[in-house]
Structure 1
Amino acid sequence: MRRSPLFLACLMPTLALAQAAPPADKADLYDIGTAPSAARIEADVRKLVSFGTRHTLSDQTSETRGIGAATRWIHDEFERISKACGGCLEVRYVRGTVQGEPRIPGPLEVTSVIAIQRGTSDPDRYVMMSGDIDSRVTDVMNATADAPGANDNASGMAGTLEAARVLTKYRFLGSIVYAALSGEEQGLFGGRFVAAEARKNGWRIEAVLNNDMIGNSAGLTGVVDNTTARVFSEGTRIVETADEAKQRRFEGGEMDSPSRNLARYIDRMAGYVPNLDVMMVYRLDRFGRGGHHRPFNEAGYPGVRVMETNENYDRQHQDLRTENGRVYGDTIEGVDFAYAAKLTALNAVSLAGMAWAPPPPASVKIEGAVTADTTLKWTRPTAKQAPNLAGYKVYWRLTTEPTWTHSRWVGNVDAYTLKNTVIDNYFFGVAAVAKDGTESPVVFPGAAGSFGGY
């Protein structure tokens, strides 16, 4: 049937509105970016320090000293947070037995705590924030000496508790896990057990944000900086197969693992936290060192380390002492609580943004060899998983650029062609966008960039 020009003119605004880009910002994220309390974080750090030592091999039965008392207090604190939100957290222990390891010679039960805030429409999709429970001194096997671990890692553990207090005031489509991981200093065992449980239960983990030392703003070099956080991320997935490695060699992706694009996402979300920038470090972790995101990477999950930018090595893994006027030891005096609150806020806005957003696009593919155009294709989630899906953004950048420099809103489609954009000259990706403007991390095409499970 032929339509009149007047009818078409009236219809055009409706069609334009259907494909209009969602808002650029979500106001709640600005609120979350300033919500973490330095005072509450300080109180939690002081409580964790009060247990004397939290060494993995320390006392598990005392009510006042050792790893057992600290772990039970963390469990109870998550329960108190849950009570304040009407029971919105599922709090439980995750246990596993370790023996015959260099740093755990005899049979030992390693106990972590997880608190799950279930999503409303996509509860099997998870984003996680973790901190470590345990502490140590110079001798990694010394389980009796005082090891306050105020910054390493009571700061990260306190930040995880505080993020739970902030985010349980909201409801999200995806689930958020707040994890207190044990056994880090003895071999990353708490993370290994939680990652194994996630695999066993089929969790679709979109992101793991491991917080290990977020409270030191004065470095050993003399630099004082409370405006920058570091985010470490691996470049190539360790679970990559030989066939996937061959594909990556010819198509790229060394700099675009899901963990690397998670780091870029966190960098962008720092805009919601006043006076904070992210230094992305393109490395799995600090040189020759490790952290609790690694077991999740090894299980195939995207994961990064979030931490302070300037470390003071006199305050890490040291016996409490003074030598030639130089003070050693990880004591409360070395923690900048306002800085720890900023890094907690960085985690909180990142978790909230991902949990509010639709899941990352799945099965992203790219075409365009020997043509002037580049075409991206992907799979959309079910309506149940993403009832708030507005559509997608296509991203691209020069191959030498560290972050995404160009983007285009393309609407609620499952394919898009960038005209006169030669595939050879750029890297490309796709992100899902919610009606409220929140976005998923960008997904690079192929196995190299896949977030998996979607």
Structure 2
Amino acid sequence: MFKRYLLLGAFFLPLVSHAQEIVNRDPEIERYVKAISADSMKASVEKLVSFGSRHTMSSVTDATKGIGAARRWTLSKFQSYAKNSGGRLTAELQSWTLKPDGRRIDKEHEIANVVATLKGTDPADDRVFVISAHIDSRAFDIMNRDIDSPGANDDASGVATALELARVMAQAKFPATLVFLIVSGEEQGLYGADYYAQQAVDKKWNLEAILNNDTMGSSAGSEMSVIDNTRLRVFSEGLPAYQTAEQAATIRSIGAENDGKTRQLARYMKEVGERYVENLEVVLIYRNDRFQRGGDHTPFVNRGFAAVRITEMNENFDHQHQDIHTEKGKEYGDLIKFMDFEYLRKNAGVNLAALANLAKAPQMPQEVKIEVKGSANYAKLNWKAPKSGKVKGYYVLMRETYQPFWQKKFFVTDTSITLPYSRDSYFFAVQSITEGGNESLPVIPLPTGR
């Protein structure tokens, strides 16, 4: 017999357009989220804007102007936060040379990522969770490296978020490792993210989730004067581009086109983010990115990692990739005055809640299976315990096949369950959980017993 407990407030989750009502917050995570400061993030954006052009091809030697000065300042901020970490937070510049590409790189140029790593406390836990943003900026002419391109929202907002999370979380002790990744070269072709993603493959890092923050600090859209600081978009790809023909056949055979690793991460961000951040709905966009646009999550997605893009609800294109000027009484340019730092604070809270909950959770359950022989009126699932982490039990998630979010949640202490629901009519997944209720990412079961 399996053990089953119903979770009040979490067992039946109504599928409605507004934010889900989730209870049982982790006091530690709640404290970190409340510690996020809009003023602190504004100060970071102001400093980044002061470097003038942060174009990838701008000066790397000037002490006060250009991308080199911006990277060194960002590194110094991470290093200042490291002093409160007991030696677990370290920061470095990861430098290499870009070669001309005949497009947006017209000569050899030094490029660098700023990488801050908060080492996990469990030697047996090799998981790495990444928050990323890009430090480079641009004006209308993608090759103009001299004109001021403040990039306040695109993407000083993301850099400020990563810095703020490092400030707040430097003293935290999580089993898994967190990386605060500030990349260069996004506007010229995703070079910094591509370099780091390839390192992860070559060095066999266990990157379990990448949260890419890009253009997330303005609540005013450019069309019809839309102002909305209550919604945040999370983009996630569906069918992975890296899949083999055999993997694609398996996905189609079980109907899991909407349940890849990245889509599961997006759902996780919605549930956990709305749990801790009030008056904010996490809106899931079921595509990898906007039409004809790109972001630093894509090099990770293309290599098989779970990576999402986090972006404000309504982008304002008058203040994105524009030269600073006024035309017919309208101001153009990515300036601080057009940002909403209370909105940015809430968006940073979603990132922190998701990262902290993941880093505190056990590893995902292993070898999750669903039995497909015998009566189809039942769903029989079994799995193995995770490789590391202290496990209180497991959540078995369930939803109707046409629904976008999980509808029911069962708690079990065993590593198997039989549910009185047709395996053909529902999707299922399994999460590991801690004593405090921190959940791993869900794992979709594969069929067995055919």
Q: Scaled by the length of structure 1, what TM-score is found?
A: 0.90
- Deviations along 1:214-249, one digit per CA (max 9) or x if unpaired, are 110011121111111110001112221100111111
Q: How many residues align?
A: 427
Shift of 1:37: 0.2
1:2-401 mapped onto 2 (5 Å cutoff): 24-101=24-101, 102-121=103-122, 122-221=124-223, 222-269=225-272, 270-368=274-372, 371-382=376-387, 385-386=388-389, 388-401=390-403
**In structure 1, C-alpha distance between the alignment counterparts of 2:396 and 2:281, rounded to whole Å:** 24
Q: CA RMSD in A?
A: 2.0
**In structure 2, C-alpha distance between the alignment counterparts of 1:54 and 1:350, rounded to whole Å:** 29
Indicate how the Cα distance of structure 1 residues 312 and 151 shifts in structure 2: closer, same or farther if over 3 A, else same. same
- Deviations along 1:317-375, one digit per CA (max 9) or x if unpaired, are 01111111111100111111111111111100110000000112233222235522112
Counterpart amino acid of 1:407?
A: K
Counterpart contact for 1:25–1:438, Cα < 8 Å? no
Counterpart amino acid of 2:340?
A: D
**In structure 2, C-alpha distance between the alignment counterparts of 1:159 and 1:374, rounded to whole Å:** 42
**In structure 1, C-alpha distance between the alignment counterparts of 2:96 and 2:402, rounded to whole Å:** 44
- Deviations along 1:251-307, one digit per CA (max 9) or x if unpaired, are 111111111111111101122112111011001011221111111111211010111
**In structure 1, C-alpha distance between the alignment counterparts of 2:384 and 2:141, rounded to whole Å:** 51
**In structure 1, C-alpha distance between the alignment counterparts of 2:33 and 2:228, rounded to whole Å:** 19
Counterpart contact for 1:34–1:274, Cα < 8 Å? no
Higher mean C-alpha deviation, range 365-374 or range 74-83: 365-374
Shift of 1:145: 0.4
Counterpart contact for 1:152–1:212, Cα < 8 Å? yes
Instruction: Structure 1: give runs of 5+ residues left out of the alignment.
Output: 1-14, 448-454
Counterpart amino acid of 1:291?
A: G
Q: Match of 1:416, SS?
A: strand
- Deviations along 1:126-152, one digit per CA (max 9) or x if unpaired, are 111111100000011111100000000
Higher mean C-alpha deviation, range 97-106 or range 276-285: 97-106
- Deviations along 1:49-102, one digit per CA (max 9) or x if unpaired, are 000010000001001000100011111110001013333212112233322322
**In structure 2, C-alpha distance between the alignment counterparts of 1:93 and 1:389, rounded to whole Å:** 37
Counterpart contact for 1:148–1:331, Cα < 8 Å? yes
Counterpart contact for 2:361–2:440, Cα < 8 Å? yes
Shift of 1:21: 7.9
Counterpart contact for 1:96–1:193, Cα < 8 Å? no
Instruction: Structure 2: give runs of 5+ residues left out of the alignment.
Output: 9-22
Higher mean C-alpha deviation, range 199-208 or range 438-447: 438-447
Shift of 1:376: 2.0
Indicate how the Cα distance of structure 1 residues 170 and 293 shifts in structure 2: closer, same or farther if over 3 A, else same. same
**In structure 2, C-alpha distance between the alignment counterparts of 1:46 and 1:238, rounded to whole Å:** 38
Counterpart contact for 1:56–1:143, Cα < 8 Å? yes
Counterpart contact for 2:151–2:335, Cα < 8 Å? yes
